[in-house]
Structure 1
Amino acid sequence: MSLSHFSFPTSIVFGAGARKEVAGHLRDHGLKRPLIVTDRALAALPVLAEFRSHLQGLEVAVYDGVFGNPTASQVMGGAAAFKAHGADCIIGFGGGAALDVAKVVGIAATHEGDIIEYVWDHPQVRPIKNALPHFVALPTTSGTGSEVGRSSVVSENDTHLKRVVFSPKILAKKVFADPELTFALPPHVTAATGMDALTHNVESYLSPAYHPLCDGIALEGTRIAARALVTAVKEPGNLQARSDMMMASMMGAIAFQKDLGAVHSCAHALGAVCDLHHGLANALMIDTVMTWNREVVPAKFDELAHVCGVAGGGAAFVPWLQQLKATVGITGRLADHGVKPDHMARLVQIATADICHQTNPRPCTAADFERLFAAAM
């Protein structure tokens, strides 16, 4: 057996009221001038003002230039805001997009060049050689789990292709996971982000990579999401359901150290070509890809059905997914969400080039992706 390397380093404060601990944490580290990196929508909502009320005594600035799928220009804008404020630390506050931007603002603020020059597969990738600002993360959605990840996904400004900056150096020094921050999420966002969290756990478990630690986390994350998602959508103020979904989200992000699969390759393509919300894109593709995958790993589907409480074994898992989507209000096919036949060639090209499907349990060719997109259309 070849050697494997495992790491679970993130420090997490979890529970209702965790957001109130941020100021004390920063003061304990001698930090006084945080830059909050968030998105436009959140910046205008009471939830950010309420969080700021717990930062009294600190010189706080806000960068709210994140919107849609995060882009390189948004990162560079955040770096400019960091310098203008004379900031000494960064608070990431938001969903996956805001947190992905926040994680790499520190690189752009302390290093030369554009952030795209730091993506892992850049032909002349620049090293992260300087010390990075202290960074803490507060998720306001339960989907990507970006708060505990060591990667940041940002799109190129012109092509909209998603690129990945990957380094343990961008991990948050501390995560403040407060489920009360998700109470105001509308049902459709709770549903889409929740399906993202579920997809992370499912695809991580199905990955053939060797990582039993992540397998255990992925199965438990799947179980938690399966029991909590409908309640979180239907009862937005239910603290237990919101807590469960926030935990399932973080577990999915930890588990995908094993990497993901073809659902995510399809979703990345749909985001780049059609600007679909990432969680929605996963939800629209998951049952189609899972039907295809089950043929090669039926025993794993039996286990997924078991942890989700689905009677009938692995054969019933995909129908359960379809019913779950309908229950939380995710309906229609790709064509109902703006995907057109003339998008197909570009979708297939991007999905085939995407790294995620390299750990799909069933190898994927361009022809396979064409069939998968057609089946979901």
Structure 2
Amino acid sequence: MSITGISFPTAIRFGAGARKEVAKHLLDRGLKRPLIVTDKALAALPVLKEFQSHLQGLDVAVFGGVFGNPTASQAMAGAEAFRQHKADCVIGFGGGAALDVAKVVGIAATHAGHIIEYAWDHPKVRAIEKDLPYFVALPTTAGTGSEVGRSSVISEDDTHLKRIVFSPKILAKCVFADPELTLALPPHVTAATGMDALTHNIESYLSPAYHPLCDGIALEGTRIAARSLETAVKEPGNIAARSDMLMASMMGAIAFQKDLGAVHSCAHALGAVCDLHHGLANALMIDTVLAWNQESVPEKFEELAHVCRVSGGGAQFIPWLRALKARVGITGKLGAHGVKREQLPRLVEIAVADICHQTNPRPVQAADFQRLFEAAL
């Protein structure tokens, strides 16, 4: 399998073995002291050590302080590690949490103030005025697509509310998308992150915002994920399926420049209140929310059914989606995953405040979120 060069929205080196190009890429640009930002689990696994073996000629330090949903304190600690190492660039290595922290470490390391002050909705939002350290990204999961995104979702440590730092300046200069880095993912992580990718593509397509370019990407991303997610879960060594899911993940993140919908508002609330994995939260809510949305855009559900090769057209898309979830091992409702009825008021409150549902194909009020959470519980 050859490595392909892509430049949308940033330079992408895609294919098995792409990770081996990182050292030359940095050295060719005069960069010698990278800080690898990763999560605690990956920092202890052979996959990181194997990657480091390809970084000959570089003086490498590792910050492995990311865990769970990424937080502001993790970003600030990463910035301190950057300064202590006297780093000249950042390598993001991991899933969405590690990459979201990696994208903003350079801001906190070179700018005054707290990283939350750079969130777009902060009352006294700070501007990113200086050039940021060179940043490259290597995804090890196929779900968030954070490696190609121009936003970073960081939670406040005290409230757990998710804040978004958004700027083209935090885009990776180059993404090394190597499906071999995803081979070690256990089935349940492959399933949850894969459903995240599928949700991004579907919700982006359903958004009423006008963006035909993103619509095309979202439909193709949906088609690719639909054909390969089950294979990637059940045949973890299948490099073709892993490649498909990695591409679908990036396509979903590119497409959701168009915006997302109420599935993500619910998932963000579940992450904040219940610390639920984001991909799993999307998977647990998607069929409930889409069933509610369907009457508003039936023609789009027909198109989704077409690209997913669903027999029976749009009317069968939701049953197909539920069956796919079951086949990849995502079963049970919210209650089976630790969500309690007494948490519903707070879940509704956070979902209403979340920006994503503003581009849901059907307007969503607090009472609607209440019904959706109850239906999914």
The answer to whether the superposition gives a TM-score over 0.5 is: yes
Show CA shifts across 1:103-162 (max 9, x none): 000000000111000000000000000110000000000000000000000000000000
Aligned-partner residue type, residue 322 of structure 2: Q
Shift in Å, 1:289: 0.3
Tell me the SS of whatever aligns to 2:121: coil
Show CA shifts across 1:281-310 (max 9, x none): 000000000000001100000000000010
- Structure 1: how far apart are the matches of 2:358 and 2:296? 15
Aligned-partner residue type, residue 327 of structure 1: R
- Structure 2: how far apart are the matches of 1:364 and 1:267? 15
Aligned-partner residue type, residue 55 of structure 2: L
- Corresponding residue for 1:135? 135
Shift in Å, 1:57: 1.2
Q: How does 1:1-377 map to 2 (within 5 A)?
A: 8-377=8-377
- Structure 2: how far apart are the matches of 1:69 and 1:27? 32
Identity %, equivalent residues: 82
- Structure 1: how far apart are the matches of 2:191 and 2:82? 33
Tell me the SS of whatever aligns to 1:232: helix
Show CA shifts across 1:173-212 (max 9, x none): 0000000000000000000000000000000000000100
- Structure 1: how far apart are the matches of 2:10 and 2:211? 18
Aligned-partner residue type, residue 141 of structure 2: T
- Structure 1: how far apart are the matches of 2:330 and 2:89? 38
How many corresponding residue pairs?
Answer: 371
Aligned-partner residue type, residue 163 of structure 2: R
Q: Is the 8 A contact 2:304 2:317 kept in 1?
A: yes
Shift in Å, 1:9: 3.0
Shift in Å, 1:352: 0.3
Tell me the SS of whatever aligns to 2:270: helix
- Structure 1: how far apart are the matches of 2:79 and 2:165? 16
Alignment TM-score, normalising by the size of structure 2: 0.98
Shift in Å, 1:167: 0.1
- Structure 2: how far apart are the matches of 1:9 and 1:40? 29
Tell me the SS of whatever aligns to 2:225: helix
- Structure 2: how far apart are the matches of 1:340 and 1:222? 32
Tell me the SS of whatever aligns to 1:55: coil
Aligned-partner residue type, residue 301 of structure 1: F
- Structure 2: how far apart are the matches of 1:133 and 1:237? 35
- Structure 2: how far apart are the matches of 1:203 and 1:182? 24
Alignment TM-score, normalising by the size of structure 1: 0.98
Let me know the Cα RMSD of the aligned residues: 0.7
- Structure 2: how far apart are the matches of 1:283 and 1:32? 41
Q: Is the 8 A contact 2:9 2:254 kept in 1?
A: no
Aligned-partner residue type, residue 249 of structure 1: S
- Structure 1: how far apart are the matches of 2:240 and 2:32? 34
Aligned-partner residue type, residue 102 of structure 1: A
- Structure 2: how far apart are the matches of 1:181 and 1:8? 21
Structure 1 runs of 4+ off > 3 angstroms?
Answer: none
Aligned-partner residue type, residue 337 of structure 1: H
- Structure 2: how far apart are the matches of 1:48 and 1:197? 23
Shift in Å, 1:8: 4.3
- Structure 1: how far apart are the matches of 2:282 and 2:9? 27
- Structure 2: how far apart are the matches of 1:28 and 1:253? 29
- Corresponding residue for 1:3? none
Q: Is the 8 A contact 2:196 2:282 kept in 1?
A: yes
- Corresponding residue for 1:4? none
- Structure 2: how far apart are the matches of 1:221 and 1:90? 28
Unaligned runs of 5+ in 1: 1-6
